[in-house]
Amino acid sequence: MTEKISLLTIATFNNGKLAEYREMLGALPVQLISLAEHGSVSEVDETGTTFAENAELKASGYARMTGTHTLADDSGLEVAALNGRPGVLSARYGGDDLGFAGKMEMLLAEIADSGSGDRRARFVCEAAIADPDGGILLTVRGECTGTIAPGPSGSGGFGYDPIFVPDGFESTFGELSPVTKHQISHRARAFEQIIPFLRDKLNG
Q: What is the pLDDT of residues 89-117, one digit of tens each?
A: 999 999 989 999 999 999 999 999 999 99
Alpha-carbon span 29 to 199, nearest angstrom? 9
The predicted model scores a pTM of 0.89
**pLDDT score, position 203:** 61
For 7-202, CATH gives: 3.90.950.10
59, pLDDT greater than 80: yes
Lowest pLDDT segment from 10-19, 166-175, 178-187: 10-19
Coil vs helix vs strand at 167: coil
- Active-site position among 74, 96, 97, 133: 74
**Beta-bridge mates of residue 127:** 73, 140
**What are the phi and psi torsion angles at 46 (to 5°)?**
-90, 80
The arithmetic mean of pLDDT across residues 10-38, rounded, is 82
161 annotated active-site = no
The arithmetic mean of pLDDT across residues 51-68, rounded, is 96
**Beta-bridge mates of residue 33:** 9
